[in-house]
Structure formats: structure tokens, C-alpha cells
Amino acid sequence: MPRCQVCGAVAAVHVVQITDGQKTEQHLCTKHGADGLPPITARASWVNWSLLLAGALLMTFAVACCLVTMVESRSRRNPYTPVLTFALILMSAADLCFLSLFIRGGWVWRVVAVLASLPTLFVIEDFLRRA
């Protein structure tokens, strides 16, 4: 009979969680079952939020690079290939964040990850058209 990891009483709550491919098992009594769960969930969600934030920032910069070159291209002939390439690199980094978010998250995070990576299409289209 598993015992509560906190107080040693007979465990009533058994939690198996897989985070980053690591299987963790928690055995808790009814009293500690309630406060035993939040730490892992909170940590996972903190990482997800960071990934989303990092990805969103990178993506914003990538899109900004494309928009800047659009304005610039009207005024003069300029080599915007380097800027667009830079945008492409930023975008790839952003997509890596969204991809790990997609792999880690539940279905809500997956929907968020897919929506957040939509500007990818814009950046790629822009790159192919003008670079």
C-alpha cells in the first residue's frame, strides 16, 4: 500500500504525470492530495507561458522586419534580403517555441500554439516574393 509522500499516511490519491518525457508518480493522502497537485501543474504552465511569450516576441520582430522592408522598398531600391533572412531566422526560433508548446501542452495550448504560429505563413510568403 503506497504511503503519502508528505505525511506517511495511507495514500488515497495517485498521480502519474509525464513532463518532458519524465514519468513522475505522486502518492498522497486525501489531506495532502489537494495541495500536492498544484506545484507540478503550476511549473508546467509557467514554462508554457514563457514559451508563448518568447515565441510571440520573436514573431513580432519577424513580422516587423517584413513590414519595415515593405515601407523601405517604396522609397529606394535596397537589398532587403538580409533583413528578410533575419526575419526568417527569428520566425524559425518563434516556431520552435510554439512547437515545444504544442508538444507539451493540452489541447488549449495546442490551439494557442497553432494560432500564434499563423504569421509564419505571412513571413514565408513575403520572403519568397521579395528576397
Residues at the interface with Zn ion (CB under 5 A): 4, 6-7, 9, 29, 32
Q: Which is nearer to Zn ion, 36 or 105 (CB)?
A: 36
Shortest distance, CB of residue 45 to Zn ion, whole angstroms? Answer: 24
Shortest distance, CB of residue 39 to Zn ion, whole angstroms? Answer: 14
The DSSP string of 99-127 is HHHHHHS-HHHHHHHHHHTTHHHHHHHHH
Phi-psi bin for 9: left (phi > 0), alpha (psi -120 to 50), beta?
A: beta
Q: Which is nearer to Zn ion, 3 or 43 (CB)?
A: 3
Q: Which is nearer to Zn ion, 6 or 40 (CB)?
A: 6
